């Protein structure tokens, strides 16, 4: 069986929800999901805890957990997340940070931490300018995020990330240089400060965006790969850079898409089905609607996934995981700590529960409430990919 079986992991970002009124349906329960419901009847259900009870995960920890990596052990720093978010391929000698364009007065005092939220187009032009800064022995990458925000990456051997931030978090004071918090980060401090000096010169006169702030320094996290840990040739299907980036960090091959629609993601699944053992397919719309407080929008996003599900099932996967990286209830307009619905399908499940995929059905499910990091071992077991322990 090993090497022959295929696992599909369908992650609806922020899947878990809450009722709008006591006893009412959640987004997932409200959604008309005939295909998910029918699959639930042939599957086992449960609820995943991404980090720990009561803990609301960010997208990084939520994804690491569902991929089987303890999110308390493996941490992706904020700078690295920002770089992943703009689809930057972080390498092992990269030091990333979140950047802001800001305004300083002639004395060098900070007057606006966000440079009046300059238009994204101007941001692009200024990033081009910053990209021309040269420091011997180092390379820099500056990529626009949005408005005043950009991702910053310095590449050179031996750049450690124990650095102070340059954002004083208030105006009326000078913008400090970075300082090394540990001896091993001295080189990184030098390289980054030379870049900041360069930025000051390049941006002189470009008021309001005449200076930069850098924070959230993070070396590129080193994670064992899906091949190392699970002996899986894994592929990732995701539209947003951050999810593509986290998948890349765990050694998945990120598949090219024809477009950014859900149907394009499922098309990529079909196109590449023969080439990999494991597929991670990420759906962003559920989380976006949840964070916007758009209950109906989240319901629709779930229904849209349900409509595509037959395309996945037609490929006859050996194991199907349907779940989320965390909850994003519309009533909270944010990520939340609530455990996340989980469905595990294979031929080897104790199936026959209700034909219903929803928070309450999952709370009564035979998988119970389990750490999200248990999902991958379960998936591997159902795929016949784990050896017996002991004789």
Residues 6+ positions from 201 with CB-CB distance below 8 Å: none
How far apart (Å, rounded) are the C-alpha atoms in residues 138 and 356? 55
Q: Residue 181 or residue 331: which is nearer to a second copy going by CB?
A: 331
Among 3, 54, 157, 274, binds a second copy (CB under 8 A): 54
Per-residue H/E/C for 129-169:
HHCCCCECCEEEEEEEEECCEEEEEEECCCCCCCECCCCCC
How far apart (Å, rounded) are the C-alpha atoms in residues 311 and 54? 36
In the complex, minimum distance from the CB of residue 268 to a second copy, in angstroms, rounded to a whole number: 27
For 268-289, letters b (16+ CB in 10 Å) and e give bbeeebeebbbbbbbbbbbbbb
Q: Residue 52 or residue 173: which is nearer to a second copy going by CB?
A: 52
How is residue 251 annotated by DSSP? T
Residues 6+ positions from 4 with CB-CB distance below 8 Å: none
Tokens of 31: 């959604």
Instruction: Please report whether residue 244 would count as binding a second copy according to CB under 8 A.
Output: no
Site for a second copy in 29-48 (CB under 8 A): 41-42, 47
In the complex, minimum distance from the CB of residue 45 to a second copy, in angstroms, rounded to a whole number: 10
Q: Residue 52 or residue 296: which is nearer to a second copy going by CB?
A: 52
Tokens of 209: 């965006």
How far apart (Å, rounded) are the C-alpha atoms in residues 240 and 237? 10
Among 7, 8, 60, 160, binds a second copy (CB under 8 A): 60
Stretch of residues binding a second copy (CB under 8 A), selected from 20-28, 142-150, 161-169, 250-258: 20-28
Among 7, 18, 214, 340, binds a second copy (CB under 8 A): 18
**Sign of the torsion formed by the C-alpha atoms of 140, 141, 147 and 149:** negative
In the complex, minimum distance from the CB of residue 377 to a second copy, in angstroms, rounded to a whole number: 3
Backbone angles phi, psi at 75, to 5 degrees: -120, 130
Instruction: Please report whether residue 377 would count as binding a second copy according to CB under 8 A.
Output: yes
How far apart (Å, rounded) are the C-alpha atoms in residues 232 and 280? 12
Stretch of residues binding a second copy (CB under 8 A), selected from 6-14, 251-259, 306-314, 370-378: 370-378
How far apart (Å, rounded) are the C-alpha atoms in residues 326 and 340? 6
Instruction: Please report whether residue 374 would count as binding a second copy according to CB under 8 A.
Output: yes
Tokens of 80: 């690295």
Tokens of 7: 């696992």
Instruction: Please report whether residue 19 would count as binding a second copy according to CB under 8 A.
Output: yes
Other CB atoms within 10 Å distance of the CB of residue 225: 14
Q: Is 53 helix (H, G, I), strand (E, B) or coil?
A: coil
Q: Residue 189 or residue 246: which is nearer to a second copy going by CB?
A: 246
Among 56, 193, 207, 225, binds a second copy (CB under 8 A): 56
Binding mask 191-210 for a second copy (x = CB under 8 A): --------------------
Q: Residue 53 or residue 183: which is nearer to a second copy going by CB?
A: 53
Among 142, 191, 269, 367, binds a second copy (CB under 8 A): 367
How far apart (Å, rounded) are the C-alpha atoms in residues 317 and 301? 23
Among 257, 267, 304, 363, binds a second copy (CB under 8 A): 363
Q: What CA–CA distances, in Å, run from 162 to 180, 182, 190, 235, 267? A: 6, 6, 13, 33, 43
Instruction: Please report whether residue 53 would count as binding a second copy according to CB under 8 A.
Output: yes
Instruction: Please report whether residue 286 would count as binding a second copy according to CB under 8 A.
Output: no
Instruction: Please report whether residue 184 would count as binding a second copy according to CB under 8 A.
Output: no
Site for a second copy in 71-130 (CB under 8 A): 71, 75-76, 78, 81
Backbone angles phi, psi at 288, to 5 degrees: -60, -50
In the complex, minimum distance from the CB of residue 364 to a second copy, in angstroms, rounded to a whole number: 7
Among 2, 4, 55, 146, binds a second copy (CB under 8 A): 55
In the complex, minimum distance from the CB of residue 26 to a second copy, in angstroms, rounded to a whole number: 7
Instruction: Please report whether residue 359 would count as binding a second copy according to CB under 8 A.
Output: yes
Task: Give the footprint of a second copy on this chain (CB under 8 A).
Answer: 18-19, 22-24, 26, 41-42, 47, 51-61, 71, 75-76, 78, 81, 329, 331-332, 335-338, 348-353, 359-360, 363-370, 374, 376-382, 386-391
């Amino acid at each position: 069986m090993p090497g022959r079986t295929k696992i599909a992991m369908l992650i609806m970002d922020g899947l878990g929800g809450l009722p709008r009124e006591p006893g009412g349906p959640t987004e997932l329960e409200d959604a008309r999901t005939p295909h998910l419901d029918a699959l639930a009847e042939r599957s086992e259900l449960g609820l995943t805890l991404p980090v720990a009870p009561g803990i609301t995960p960010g997208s990084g920890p939520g994804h690491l957990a569902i991929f089987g990596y303890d999110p308390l052990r493996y941490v992706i720093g904020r700078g690295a997340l920002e770089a992943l978010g703009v689809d930057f391929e972080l390498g092992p000698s990269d030091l990333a940070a979140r950047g802001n364009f800001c305004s300083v007065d002639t004395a060098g005092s900070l007057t606006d931490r966000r440079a009046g939220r300059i238009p994204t187009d101007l941001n692009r032009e200024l990033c081009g300018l910053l990209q021309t800064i040269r420091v011997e022995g180092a390379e820099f990458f500056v990529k626009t995020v949005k408005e005043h925000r950009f991702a910053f990456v310095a590449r050179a051997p031996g750049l450690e990330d124990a650095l102070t931030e340059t954002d004083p978090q208030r105006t009326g004071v000078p913008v400090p240089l970075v300082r090394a918090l540990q001896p091993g980060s001295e080189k990184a401090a030098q390289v980054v400060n030379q870049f900041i000096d360069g930025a000051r010169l390049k941006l002189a006169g470009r008021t309001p965006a005449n200076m930069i702030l850098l924070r959230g320094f993070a070396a590129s996290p080193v994670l064992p790969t899906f091949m190392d840990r699970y002996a899986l040739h894994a592929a990732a299907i995701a539209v947003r850079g951050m999810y593509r980036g986290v998948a890349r960090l765990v050694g998945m091959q990120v598949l090219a898409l024809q477009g950014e629609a859900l149907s394009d993601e499922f098309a990529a699944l079909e196109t590449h089905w023969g080439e990999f053992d494991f597929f991670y397919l990420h759906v962003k719309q559920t989380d976006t609607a949840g964070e916007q407080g758009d209950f109906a929008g989240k319901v629709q996003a779930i229904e849209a996934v349900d409509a595509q599900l037959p395309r996945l099932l037609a490929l006859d996967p050996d194991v199907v995981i349907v779940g989320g990286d965390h909850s994003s209830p519309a009533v909270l307009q944010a990520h939340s700590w609530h455990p996340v619905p989980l469905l595990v399908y294979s031929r080897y499940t104790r199936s026959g529960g209700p034909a219903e995929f929803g928070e309450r059905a999952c709370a009564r499910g035979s998988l119970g409430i389990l750490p999200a990091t248990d999902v991958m071992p379960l998936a591997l077991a159902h795929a016949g990919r784990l050896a017996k322990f002991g004789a």
